[in-house]
């Protein structure tokens, strides 16, 4: 019994160290994102590059879903994204340290700007620096948009989703409809469409077992890719 308790204690200690290292990495990454990106969308692009492309902690489809969720929740998009992604990687501790890492740099920077406003507002070099950063931010935002469109074109109902994208762009850009209203309408329309189209509906297989049509479709796609590779 003593040996079993010792093994359990060692396993718990090892798991705790693993979570601690992961949270430390999330915090350091969040600090870096917040220091090097000038707005929430640029931070989301940095998160996607880090956790999907480099570290492979999340897949691209899930990351696109998290970005969409972060954009649709109230509050700063960077904070929402940091909480959602941190929670998915390391639970509540990961969410908290990610949010803390995102919040610290702007709080410190705004405090400095408050006390040195006259110098910052009248210094032409600082104004030029911010102008250059805005141009880089545009590149980040376009990168996120392109990746999200690519993710849409690989999903079921891609034609409908592209129509939603086009209609949403016109509604926001041309008609001046608020982003919140546009997203609510798009969400309701998507639920109705996929419900009527039968996506995600449970079917019975030949052996009487229920099959999720979305899962089955994904499995067939994976099998087809494997056959093509062979």
Other beta carbons less than 10 A from residue 29's beta carbon? 22
Q: Report the C-alpha gap between 44 and 123 in whole angstroms.
A: 30
> What's the pLDDT score for residue 15?
58
Q: Which pLDDT value is given to residue 149?
A: 81
In contact, 105 and 99? CB cutoff 8 Å: no
Q: What is the pLDDT of residue 205?
A: 46
The residue among 149, 157, 154, 163 whose CA lies nearest residue 196 is 157
Judge whether 27 and 97 are in contact, CB under 8 Å: yes
Q: Are 33 and 46 in contact (CB under 8 A)?
A: yes
Ranges of residues in the chain with a pLDDT under 50 are 1-10, 203-208, 210-230
What pLDDT is attached to residue 223?
Answer: 43
Give the pLDDT of residue 94: 93
Position 103 scores a pLDDT of 93
For residue 200, give Cα distances in angstroms to 193, 197, 203: 12, 9, 9
């Amino acid at each position: 019994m003593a040996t079993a308790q010792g093994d359990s204690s060692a396993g718990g200690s090892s798991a705790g160290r693993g979570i601690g290292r992961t949270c430390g990495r999330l915090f350091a990454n969040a600090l870096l994102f917040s220091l090097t990106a000038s707005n929430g969308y640029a931070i989301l692009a940095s998160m996607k590059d880090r956790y999907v492309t480099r570290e492979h902690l999340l897949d691209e489809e899930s990351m696109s879903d998290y970005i969409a969720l972060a954009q649709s929740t109230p509050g700063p998009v960077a904070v929402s994204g940091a909480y959602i992604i941190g929670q998915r990687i390391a639970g509540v501790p990961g969410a908290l340290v990610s949010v803390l890492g995102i919040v610290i740099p702007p709080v410190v920077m705004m405090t400095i700007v408050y006390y040195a406003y006259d110098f910052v507002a009248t210094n032409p070099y600082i104004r030029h620096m911010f102008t250059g950063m805005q141009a880089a931010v545009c590149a980040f935002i376009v990168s996120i948009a392109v990746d999200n469109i690519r993710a849409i074109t690989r999903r079921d109902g891609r034609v409908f989703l592209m129509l939603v994208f086009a209609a949403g762009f016109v509604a926001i850009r041309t008609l001046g409809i608020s982003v919140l209203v546009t997203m609510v309408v798009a969400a309701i329309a998507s639920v109705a469409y996929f419900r009527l189209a039968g996506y995600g509906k449970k079917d019975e297989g030949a052996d009487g077992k229920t099959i999720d049509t979305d899962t089955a479709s994904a499995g067939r796609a994976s099998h087809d890719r494997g056959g093509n590779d062979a």
